[in-house]
A and B are shown apart, each in its own frame.
Chain A
Amino acid sequence: MKKYTFSEKKDTRSGFGAGLLEAGRKNENIVALCADLTGSLKMDAFAKEFPERFIQTGIAEANMMGIAAGLTIGGKIPFTGTFANFSTGRVYDQIRQSIAYSDKNVKICASHAGLTLGEDGATHQILEDIGLMKMLPGMTVINPCDFNQTKAATLAIAEYHGPVYLRFGRPAVPNFTPSDQKFEIGKAVMLNEGTDVTIIATGHLVWKAIEAGEQLEAMGISAEIINIHTIKPIDEKAILDSLKKTGCVVTAEEHNRIGGLGDAVAQVLAVNLPSPQEYVAVNDSFGESGTPEQLMKKYGLEAANIVEAVQKVMARKRVLA
């Protein structure tokens, strides 16, 4: 098992803030909009350095999405910032008609996704956003795993023309991705080569997958670990190449098991290479208040849950064999 280390834990939203500032310095067409969550989204530095290119919309997300769509006319590249819940479900029709169907170059940047928002509870913990966004034709959906990767993703989407949903979160998580690693939209990152099982993870679950891989190695199981940061378009080749080798897969995500990464992987496999699969995801429920750690444990999103799912999926593979 390849060894991964990190010098500090950092929040992915700060990676977004750092990336936005750097992108803004590189390209004067980049503008940022925020619906009264500038501090939470770490957009303060951009707002301070480029006040004329920062648009505070107040608590009016539908209007923010429409203004962002309009700003693209004239060549601006708008980045909207609010919580994931208010970036998707609350404004789905605005995104659908004014951005996705209209093919507008808007970057919808969403923080506090998933359970790890913590104590605010289920009203703010959206677990359906990946599904909502990946169903929109033409929408790119990205869920990076740590500070460095979120920063790199932010810079990459600034260079890409088309609507993007960028999902990140609040808690400090191990920052292990090399700071110079190039972010390629739609390209999976191979974290560890293995032969017995493939673990495909996204976002905060990527580090949990690495932890699970270490535990599995101690049990004599060789796990291939893949970080799928781009859920749409998904890297079919990386999935199929791996599954041809391992024959079974566990998917791991901080999202409802319906409509997320797991379903995206299952769709690729069903059509090309039917394989046993287990999901590590929230089991079709809302979240609740608690610390991020308590919630990840209660809803089954820990390394131990991945290990358990691996044992289950490998047993199914043996039955098939």
Chain B
Amino acid sequence: MTEISTLNDFALQVRRDIVRMVHGVQSGHPGGSLGCTEFATVLYNDILQHNPKTWDMNGKDQDLFFLSNGHISPLWYSVLARSGYFPISELGTFRKINTRLQGHPTTHEGLPGVRIASGSLGQGLSAAIGAALSKKLNNDDRLVFVLMGDGELQEGQVWEAAMFAAAKKVDNLIATIDVNGQQIDGSTNDILNLGDLKAKWEAFGWQVLSMKGNDLEDVRATMLKAKTQTGLGKPIIILMETIMGHGVDFMMAGHKWHGIAPNNEQLADALKQNTSTLADY
């Protein structure tokens, strides 16, 4: 396991990447990206069994990760680059013409680490279930992980997939929901109340865990616990409480920073709050 201080350094650098990428092209989604930084940091450093150097689409004998809420691509790109999937310098091309780092993730440009396009919400869980079934058919005992947003749960396909995974005992799957309580138009409570998520997922037949998503130690402990509960006949879901915009104080109140870019002064402020640890791209 990685030292917590090392994970913290990684997360600080990822935060810098996120705000710099979004600032650099004056578009993108910093809020959810920052809120899930600890999760992705722990996932790629200490949870996934993966080898970036031998990455291929089929991912035989590798753990797979799917990002269903594709708009938090700045986070994913930063973590993939800093895990060795592609050159860190490529982060500077985010959302720019001819880039592999499209606004929302895609396989179309052949970016290592990405196995399906996402962005139109609600589709990632189904794809993850398919990949998990493929692993079972191939007698590959590695796991499949997927991250979804909480607002995304308003998409009906998620619940089709939820019903399927439990009924068919897809127990090599660990899903996580970023419960930040925010979506573009406001708080999830105001837009379309999600109700009791724990009760809902339990009623659908899932093993439900919860964690504090901005606490590196709790994320790691819970993810490790989730791994021990695979193979027991139930799909697993982790309700991950986060604060949108976590780590940049002025982005942390409400939904405002879901999808807007910081100006020069705001960037300087954000970078001051997250000192460089692994060198900027």
Contacts and interface: CB of A to CB of B under 8 A. Distances in A.
B164 A58 contact: yes
B58 interface: yes
Interface residues of B, number: 40
B130 A67 contact: yes
A94 B157 contact: yes
Contact of B127 (A60, A67, A76): A67
Contacts of A103: 107-108
B132 interface: yes
Interface stretch (B2-10, B31-39, B79-87, B113-121): B113-121
Interface in B82-137: 106-108, 115-120, 122-135, 137
A75 B130 CA distance: 11
Contact of B58 (A58, A62, A74): A74
Contact of A63 (B60, B135, B160): B160
Nearest to B156: A62
Contacts of A78: 130
A75 B160 contact: no
Interface in B180-217: none
Contacts of A102: 106-108, 116-117
Contact of A74 (B108, B117, B137): B137
Nearest to A63: B160
A104 B126 contact: no
B37 to A, nearest CB: 25
B148 interface: no
Interface string B157-168: 100110110011
A58 B64 CA distance: 26
Interface in A22-51: 31
A73 B157 contact: no
A97 B118 CA distance: 7
Given A93-B120, A101-B117, A66 B137 contact: no
B130 A73 contact: yes
Interface string A144-187: 00000000000000000000000000000000000000000000
B57 interface: yes
Choose among A55, A69, A73, A78 the residue with the greatest number of B CB atoms under 10 Å from its CB. A73
A320 to B, nearest CB: 44
B218 interface: no
B138 interface: yes
A73 B123 contact: no
Sorting the interface of chain A by its residue count into under 10, 10 to 19, 20 to 34 or 35 or more gives 20 to 34
A67 B129 contact: yes
Interface string A65-96: 11111111111101000000000000001101
Contacts of B131: 70-71, 73-74
B171 to A, nearest CB: 16
B123 A97 contact: yes
A186 B56 CA distance: 30
B152 interface: no
A96 to B, nearest CB: 8
A67 B116 contact: no
B259 interface: no
B254 interface: no
A192 interface: no
A97 to B, nearest CB: 5
Interface of A: 31, 52-53, 55, 57-58, 60, 62-63, 65-76, 78, 93-94, 96-98, 101-104
Given A31-B137, A102-B117, 15 more contacts: A62-B126, A63-B160, A66-B125, A66-B127, A67-B133, A70-B116, A70-B126, A70-B129, A70-B131, A73-B115, A73-B127, A74-B140, A76-B134, A76-B137, A94-B157
Report, nearest first, the 10 A-B pairs whose CB atoms are least far apart.
A70-B130, A66-B126, A74-B134, A63-B160, A60-B160, A67-B130, A70-B127, A70-B131, A71-B130, A62-B157
